[in-house]
Amino acid sequence: MDFNVKKLASDAGVFFSRAMQFTEEKLGQAEKTELDAHFENLLARADSTKNWTEKILRQTEVLLQPNPSARVEEFLYEKLDRKVPSRVTNGELLAQYMTEAANDFGPGTPYGKTLIKVGETQRRLGAAERDFIHSASINFLTPLRNFLEGDWRTISKERRILQNRRLDLDACKARLKKAKAAEAKAAAEHELRLTQTEFDRQAEVTRLLLEGISSTHVNHLRCLHEFVESQTNYYAQCYQYMLDLQKQLGRFSGTFVGNAESTSPPPAAASPPAVAATTLPAVPTIPVVPTIVGVPNTVAESVLNPNEVKPPASGTRKARVLYDYEAADSTELALLADEMITVYSLPGMDPDWLIGERGNQKGKVPVTYLELLS
């Protein structure tokens, strides 16, 4: 018990001495041992690394999980060392709703068939999102957290110890200056040598930890590359899924549009321009001749045989192909990315399609795969 009291008194004395030294330094009444410029640069670099790592970590978490309630739930499960329950992605939930709606409306109807196709793609998008989130969490978020909760805590602890050692050293210097008697000076000099040794040893330990920030940057750089790679794969998957869906819906468009037109005919009193304005979306880059829905159009029928179609005297344009496109049948023209073709529209054509020509080859091409040039 006596030993504990003495130790408590000693600790209280040290704490009081450090507090006095710190206060006098802030008031400009005491000298402060300054660290060298290299050490200060290491400290600034470490603080910057910590601050930016926290911001990048938090914002990446928001990117991967925009729902704040879900993030809080995942945080609590992690702190309780429990497995986070599997959560359905938004894409998978949308796919479920679309599939249920299609079964209710009738999977054989145009709308139901389209809902099923879109729902399948949404499910695949949701699964791809889940894989991306899992990969990003393991390869990117976990190393950032490990740094903040491991290496940075160690660095912070050693920096606090170094700060205490510096306060002890400066307090000893102050006592040595105030000492008058020879015995007091000798005792102060001995104490100063001890505190100087402890300070130097702690400064070296802290310096080595701070220099390790360079290795942290190298590790985080590797993790960043892995994050970019997983994100690239994720978006490439999504892009391919949507391209496939677009091709499938493009093949159904004629049937669906015809069905919609037969069930919702335009008013008989409507004039041709008015009907066209309400039934056909405008295509500002290629002139499209309007037609009345339900009225036979010989030119529109001839679009089914592109090889027999002749280009109009005016209205042809050059277009650059943005993506590869595989022709669905003999009426379509297969495309290769970055090639140049000539395109034009014909009266009565679906505005989402154009006639494309490449040398002696001719066929329908989707507008969304083209960049029209002036």
Q: What is the pLDDT of residue 253?
A: 55
What tokens does 248 get?
Answer: 């499938």
- Out of 257-261, 274-278, 329-333, the most confident range is 329-333
CA–CA dist 242, 233 (Å, integer): 14
Range of lowest pLDDT (140-144, 192-196, 251-255):
251-255
Q: Is the pLDDT of residue 286 over 60?
A: no
Distance separating alpha carbons of residues 269 and 275, to the nearest angstrom: 10
User: How many residues are there in the chain?
Assistant: 374
253/257 Cα distance (integer angstroms): 6
Instruction: Say which residue the tokens 């496109």 belong to.
Output: 325
In three-state secondary structure terms, 338 is coil
The CA distance from 363 to 333, in Å, is 4
- Give the model confidence (pLDDT) of 202-238 as tens digits: 999 999 999 999 999 999 999 999 999 999 999 999 9
| Confidence (pTM) | 0.61
Each residue of 5-54: pLDDT tens digit?
A: 666 666 666 777 778 777 877 777 677 888 899 999 999 999 999 999 99
Tell me which of 351 and 99 has the higher pLDDT.
Answer: 99
Q: Which long-range contacts (CB under 8 A, 24 or more apart) does 263-268 make?
A: 265/293, 265/294, 266/292, 266/293, 266/294
Strand partners, 184: none
What pLDDT does residue 84 have?
A: 67
Q: In this model, does residue 174 exceed pLDDT 60?
A: yes
Count the Cβ atoms, other than its own, within 10 Å of residue 262.
10
* Assigned token pair, 186: 């000798």
- The separation between CA 348 and the C-alpha centre of its own chain, rounded to angstroms, equals 43
Residue 335 has pLDDT above 80, yes or no: yes
> What is the per-residue pLDDT across 110-124, written as a single tens digit (0 to 9) for each?
999 999 999 999 999
Of 185-199, 292-306, 348-362, least confident by mean pLDDT is 292-306
